[in-house]
Structure 1
Amino acid sequence: MTVVFVHGVPDTPFMWQPLISSLGLSQSEYFAPALPGFGCDIPSGFSCTKEAYTDWLITQLEQAVQASGGPIDIVGHDWGALLTLRACSLRPDLIRSFAVANALIDREYSGHRMARTWATPVLGEVSMFLSSFMDMKQSLIDAGMPKEIADHDVSYFDKRMRSSIVKLYRSAAGLNFRGSWVDDLKNLPECGMVLWGEHDPFVGMDVAERFHKMWGFPLHILRDTGHWGLIEKSDETAAQLKALWARAS
């Protein structure tokens, strides 16, 4: 089996370590790439828009499928969940199963306050310039990120990541999804699920419930967790993912 893990904002692939450990995956069984600009270089000409990141992810999935010899399982969180849904809806042939957590493509959701700030010209840049490492670290911990993950990931919250985040959110008008990003969800693979941290301060439970009702994918609520519920309760998440993968077999 091959599992691809797609992190979100403002994370790095390091966030997946608790879940990978709970799943007992060997290095040959998973791939956790870093989004360009998130603790790694940005390729020349890469625009850091939602379309550019989608194209990049599809390329990563094609390579993973070629290496594994067949469709793969994918897990995405936050922006990684949004990109996962978009990539899966465009290339369902690459996917055996998908699981997404605490972010969904939703026509009615208009984005949290910080998303709207980052998407606003000038204001987004000023906000990023004024954001200190300590402020960002504390806000991540308050939202549910385990301290050891925050300690690591905030060290990569540099000028390159800040610029990438602003461009990404601006390309999505905050988090306003319309047109094909919503309509193409009808092409999602049949085997998928949604995991949700119950007390997410950024995206309300109503978004998860609406997606579940509209598209019919199972919804598992991680009680008493925040935005990073899938790693706060990595053992519970691992059990859910193993059950999903068993159904996909």
Structure 2
Amino acid sequence: MDKQSLFLHGKKVSYIESGNVNDPPVLLLHGVPESSLVWGEMFPCIVSCGYRTIAPDLPGFGDSDPFDEPSTWERFEQFVSDFTTKLNLDKFHLIVHDWGGLIGLKWACDHPENILSLFVSNTTLSEEYKWHSLAQIWQTPRTGEKVMELMANRLHFQNEMKKTIPNIPDETVEDFYRVFRTPESSRVILDLYRSGNLDKVKTYNEKLNHIKIPVTIIWGENDPYIPNEFAYKLQNEGLPHANVYIIQHAGHFIQIEVPDEVNIYIQQHFQNV
């Protein structure tokens, strides 16, 4: 899948854009350890609904350069502002997954006037969430760095990803691996998780309640990282008018695992906005 690139503050940002430039824009934000390729099966569906898609590789992931400064949650939120300003995206629909949701939902709360609708999967701002075991390892100084050394082994990473997502394309595995290549590149993930204090968003459920746009929340039934109960917590705590759907027999990476099912909900979402 062909990527384009632009420069922000002297850093290359790679992104995939498809659809008619005059159609309403949709911004897609991926998670960890992903890239814009996680949305590969979604692009044609969204475009067929009459929308323009823009999906960046977040800084340090895929083909995008990392920040010079630590890759904190706040810095990624600022990136969304800088990137959308650069592309003259004033009002847009937002689709998020995993860490793309922590970044994107926080951004949406701070810029509600810019968001036309939300399509959310496998992410949470809930104070009740307890980080999964790998996240806790990444958050631990020295231990996180040691684990990153193991994950830098390309073959080991490929095998683990294939176990988790058997149908993942080789190109996508390679793109996801880029962030783990060196101790310097993997610092992006360590910085991000170590900045991920959910106390920062204690006020955000109230802010979410002020977002009165169309919202769809979808989840994999068997997500091992963020249990599907958090789909309903997100609805109950912040987005009571959202439509919630749990995809049976699917895990965390639903965009790759069950793209046809995800696209059904995407079509439904965009037919109703």
Q: TM-score, normalised by structure 2?
A: 0.80
Greater strand fraction, Structure 1 or Structure 2? 2
Report the Cα offset of residue 5 of structure 1. Answer: 1.0
The 1:77/1:20 distance shift into structure 2, 3 A limit, reads same
Q: Deviations over 1:92-129 (max 9, x none)?
A: 11111111111111110021001111011111111111
Contact 2:223 2:250 in 1 (8 A): yes
Give unmatched runs, 5+ long, in structure 1. none
- 1:233 corresponds to: 258
Q: Deviations over 1:147-176 (max 9, x none)?
A: 213244225532244110000000014x66
1:242 maps to a residue whose letter is Q
Q: Is 1:165 aligned to 2:189, yes or no?
A: yes
**Number of equivalenced pairs:** 242
The 1:72/1:88 distance shift into structure 2, 3 A limit, reads same
Contact 1:4 1:73 in 2 (8 A): yes
- 2:217 corresponds to: 194
What is the distance in 1 between the residues matched to 2:255 and 2:118? Answer: 14
What is the distance in 1 between the residues matched to 2:263 and 2:140? Answer: 37
1:139 maps to a residue whose letter is E
Contact 1:124 1:166 in 2 (8 A): yes
Taking every aligned residue pair, what percent have the same amino acid on both sides? 24
What is the distance in 2 between the residues matched to 1:243 and 1:237? Answer: 10
- 1:142 corresponds to: 163
Report the Cα offset of residue 181 of structure 1. Answer: 4.4
- 1:221 corresponds to: 246
What is the distance in 2 between the residues matched to 1:57 and 1:190? Answer: 20
Q: TM-score, normalised by structure 1?
A: 0.87
Q: Secondary structure at the match of 2:272?
A: helix
- 1:211 corresponds to: 234
Considering Cα pairs closer than 8 Å and 6+ residues apart, tell me whether 1 or 2 has the greater RCO.
Answer: 1
